[in-house]
A = this chain, B = another copy of it.
Amino acid sequence: MDASGTMSADLSSDCERLAADALDTDILGTSLDFAMHGAMAVLRRDLLAQLGAVRPVVFNLLALVGANPGILQTQLADALLLDRGSAASLVKKLQQWRWVEHRVREADRRCKGLYLSVTGARTLRHLKSQFQKHTARFHSRFTPDEHRQLLEFLQRIARQ
Contacts and interface: CB of A to CB of B under 8 A. Distances in A.
Given A26-B66, A68-B23, A158-B42, A108 B15 contact: yes
A72 interface: yes
Contacts of A12: 70, 103-107, 113
A7 B46 CA distance: 41
A69 B23 CA distance: 10
A66 to B, nearest CB: 7
Given A12-B105, A43-B33, A107-B14, A38 B72 contact: no
Interface string A1-40: 0000000000111110110100111111011111111111
A75 interface: yes
Number of copies: 2
A11 B70 contact: yes
Contacts of A47: 33
A104 to B, nearest CB: 8
A67 B20 CA distance: 13
A41 interface: yes
A141 B158 contact: no
Nearest to A72: B17
B81 A41 contact: yes
A157 B141 contact: yes
Nearest to A22: B68
A30 B151 contact: yes
Contacts of A141: 156-157
A134 to B, nearest CB: 8
